[in-house]
Amino acid sequence: MKLRTKKINKIKYKYLTFIPARSGSKELKHKNLQKIKGKTLLELTINFIKKINLKKNFIFVSTDSNKYSNLSKKYGAHCNFLRSKKNSSSSSIIDEAIFEFLNHKSFLNYEFEILILLLPTQPFRNTVDFKKGIKLIEKKSIESVISIKNLNRNDNYIFKINSNKLLIKKNLKSTNRQFINTNYTPCGCFYITKMISFKKFKSIFNLKNKGVITKYPHNLDIDNIQDLNLARLIMNNKRKFNLNV
């Protein structure tokens, strides 16, 4: 007689919002817990995604700190386990921390369709920009949506340094920046990708990317005390900057 195996029903979510918040930061100590107008950067990020009110959205904070974990739960996010030491150093890759979550025994029975990555160091991300990204990811022709910012420089004006020597192309002439084809770079406000593509490429970046152009100060990234003081100044004048924090 053939035994029947019990079918395990998957716990399905449309979105996984993944917020990386390790406790170690070299230049600005406990960067993710620095406060702007009485709220930590971690709290501002969790509040942002909660306010968007996406249906079937699992919000998870990946951290190596019990203090960060307890605060995350207080703010309304999940934090079922602490990140491993291997994925908590300054050289750790966020992609590996995401896979650590996906492969953890607590979540083997979970399914997610879309991965959203939010960095706590981006306190002013814009709601309109984010919702545009969510709308774009629903298209079949798009696998990832990345928030980007304009560098106002083309390839000729992106320099490299080799052995302390600045490498500049020959016969390069000065030009008005508004008349050049520009380059863009990820700004870190948000990364959105289809989970099937993330697992396949083991990266948020793949062959079918779409960019959402952001503007300052919505794409301000906090990396040091100067950035933090500037962010606090901007927050005190948030109406002038049309912030939705």
* Phi, psi (deg, nearest 5) at residue 78: -95, 145
How many domains does one find in the chain?
Answer: 1
Identify whether 170 is part of a domain.
Answer: no
Looking up residue 227, the CATH number of its domain turns out to be 3.90.550.10
State the pairing for strand pair 11-20/110-117. Answer: parallel
- How do residues 126-135 score in pLDDT, each as one tens digit? 999 999 999 9
* Distance from C-alpha of 224 to C-alpha of 184, rounded to nearest angstrom: 23
Domain span including residue 121: 11-150+186-236
8 or 70: which carries more pLDDT confidence?
Answer: 70
pLDDT of residue 179 exceeding 70, the answer is no
Q: Are 67 and 23 in contact (CB under 8 A)?
A: yes
Q: Residues, the chain, total?
A: 245
* Phi, psi (deg, nearest 5) at residue 152: 55, 35
Q: What is the pLDDT of residue 175?
A: 66
Q: Looking at residues 117-125, what average pLDDT do you find? A: 97
Q: What is the pLDDT of residue 5?
A: 57
Identify whether 111 is part of a domain.
Answer: yes
Q: What percent of the chain has pLDDT over 90?
A: 74
Identify whether 212 is part of a domain.
Answer: yes
Identify whether 131 is part of a domain.
Answer: yes
Identify whether 117 is part of a domain.
Answer: yes
What pTM did the predictor assign?
A: 0.90
Identify whether 173 is part of a domain.
Answer: no
Q: Looking at residues 99-121, what average pLDDT do you find? A: 96
Q: What is the pLDDT of residue 3?
A: 57
pLDDT of residue 178 exceeding 60, the answer is no
Identify whether 219 is part of a domain.
Answer: yes
* Choice among 46-55, 112-121, 179-188 with the minimum mean pLDDT: 179-188
Identify whether 176 is part of a domain.
Answer: no
Q: Which helix (H) or strand (E) holds 200?
A: helix 195-201
| Confidence tier at 7 by pLDDT (50, 70, 90) | low
Q: Are 124 and 220 in contact (CB under 8 A)?
A: yes
